[in-house]
Amino acid sequence: MSTRSNIIVRDERESVQIYRHCDGYPTAVVPELEEVLNYAWELPRFEVSDFSAAIVAAWKQPAQEYPSLFGGKAHKNQGGNIYIDGVREGVDPLILHGDIEWLYVIYQEDDAVMVEIHERTYETNELTFALHDKGEIREMIAKWTKKRDEER
């Protein structure tokens, strides 16, 4: 089963929501932000549209051919794991996917780019999240890469 997540990149004027279909847990998402930094403006410069495009550029997988389950012609998995899920002016919350387990919020605070990790709670029937971790992006990458490596 896939661990789905939303990533929201925002500032005080706009926000972009990205959907990640697989490997949405922190030990996958946060270490992979290192690759995103290779596509985005050099920090501390931070622009919502640029950083969102960098996520898609770094994480988008090419279409792959898969054999048919019924013995027919192979088909291509178009698109894949990551896509832009919504764009809003302002900071009103976006409509999150109902099946996500993790929510990431990336934004600039003073001269630091911050990452918040929110974990879904199941205390009610509502789609609710609790803050799981928060920190400066490079510190979070180092911390969660270490956790990922310890799990292996």
pLDDT above 60 (res 16): yes
Q: Hunting for tokens 């009103």 — which residue is that?
A: 92
pLDDT in tens, 38-82: 999 999 899 999 999 999 999 987 666 555 555 555 555 555 678
pTM of the model: 0.85
CB of 19 closer than 8 Å to CB of 82: yes
CB of 44 closer than 8 Å to CB of 111: yes
pLDDT in tens, 24-35: 999 999 999 999
CB of 140 closer than 8 Å to CB of 132: no
